[in-house]
Amino acid sequence: MINFLDLYSINQQYKSELKQAFERVLDSGWYILGNEVKQFEKDFSFYCGTKHTIGVANGLDALILIIRAYKELGIFKEGDEIIVPSNTYIASILAISENNLVPVLVEPHITTYNIDPDLIEAKITPKTKAILPVHLYGQLCDMAAINAIALKYNLKVIEDCAQAHGATANGKRAGNFGDAAGFSFYPGKNLGALGDAGAITTNDNELATTIRALLNYGSQVKYQNKFKGVNSRLDELQAALLSVKLKSLDQETQIRRDIANRYLTWITNPEIILPIVKLQEAQVWHLFVIRTSNREYLQKYLTDNGIQTVIHYPIPPHKQEAYQEWNSLSFPVSEKIHGEVISLPLSPVMSDNEVDSVIEVLNGFKYKF
């Protein structure tokens, strides 16, 4: 079986360094908000080119805390609207609802699967306060177009970078295109911890200070609470493990790109719609997502031929039970994408033979009706 994502092998590459990091934390006797978190935050800021990185407990909390901080600063209030793509992973939307703001869904472009900048302006109202672009599957959104709209209407831009660690355009990295960005280090992400972890990047000092307080019970000075905060700290242990893996992120991204380029060159089956890449460095291939007209049939064929695939994502957010108020709305591009996509195995530990097998099996696929 060719695994969709072999996390065991991905982490085994760094076994001795990860064990050293674990021992360092164990022996330090300091497990929360210490030097490991400080060091990782410094390293990740350097990597992204941002002034601040703030470690948090997970990627969803990263987005929730950015919006929460803007509320505390008086920039957002409950009932305000945030524009978000209609085909994202649900977390991007939950972060808005959780803060009692209103997610306003905008369709993606069918060629990039990212929010279509040409459809944003029509959705802007006097209540719109921000755009939350999601760099889906590892590919940067059209940030020049999005930032131009944000500037025109005085909106904040909050990037969801959970799938796009290291994606670059015009010499800038994901996490440095807007006012603030949320990252996830969930184990399966391009930079994955050995458990839950996340971070926020920003160049805004006041926002950073507010978020730092919010994630630690709303406290800046111990036992003095400025806000009704939460506990969403990044563990020392996860920070230490992440610092090890961050050093190899660009190398792993290069392997992802090499595999993706082989898929793009050699998968020639006309039944398969391949992803479109505009700019190599703007795509870090968190997922290699293809489309086909009868996805269930293709998935079964691949499984029967020893290839594991995953669907990202089978149900669009507006069709989820959690968002019943949207169930009767129509987002045809999103619905088409959710109905046709299937993700092929792609990871930094895939062998050349495995990549060749996937290509060969896919090229041998035919619909028999």
Ligand X SMILES: *Cc1c(COP(=O)(O)O)cnc(C)c1O
Binding site for ligand X (CB under 6 A): 58-60, 88-89, 91-92, 134, 160, 162-163, 184, 186, 196, 198
- Buried/exposed 12-42: b ≥16 CB within 10 Å, e otherwise: eebeebbeebeeebeeeeeeebeebbeebbe
By beta-carbon proximity to ligand X, the closer residue of 90 and 273 is 90
Q: Please, what is the minimum distance in Å from the beta carbon of residue 360 to ligand X?
A: 30
Q: Please, what is the minimum distance in Å from the beta carbon of residue 195 to ligand X?
A: 10
Active site residue 127: no
By beta-carbon proximity to ligand X, the closer residue of 60 and 234 is 60
Strand partners, 108: 115
How far does CA 169 lie from the centroid of its chain?
17
**Residue 217: which region, alpha, beta or left (left: phi > 0; alpha: psi -120 to 50)?**
left
Q: Please, what is the minimum distance in Å from the beta carbon of residue 60 to ligand X?
A: 4
How far does CA 260 lie from the centroid of its chain?
18
By beta-carbon proximity to ligand X, the closer residue of 134 and 259 is 134
What number of CA atoms fall less than 13 Å from residue 193's CA on the CB side? Answer: 26
Strand 168-169 with 102-106, pairing: unpaired
The catalytic residue among 189, 226, 228, 336 is 189
Best CA proximity match to 232, nearest among 49, 36, 66: 66
By beta-carbon proximity to ligand X, the closer residue of 21 and 181 is 181
Q: Please, what is the minimum distance in Å from the beta carbon of residue 328 to ligand X?
A: 25
What radius of gyration, in Å, describes the C-alpha atoms of the chain? 21
Q: Are 40 and 243 in contact (CB under 8 A)?
A: yes
By beta-carbon proximity to ligand X, the closer residue of 134 and 211 is 134
Q: Please, what is the minimum distance in Å from the beta carbon of residue 185 to ligand X?
A: 7
Q: Which residues are catalytic?
A: 189
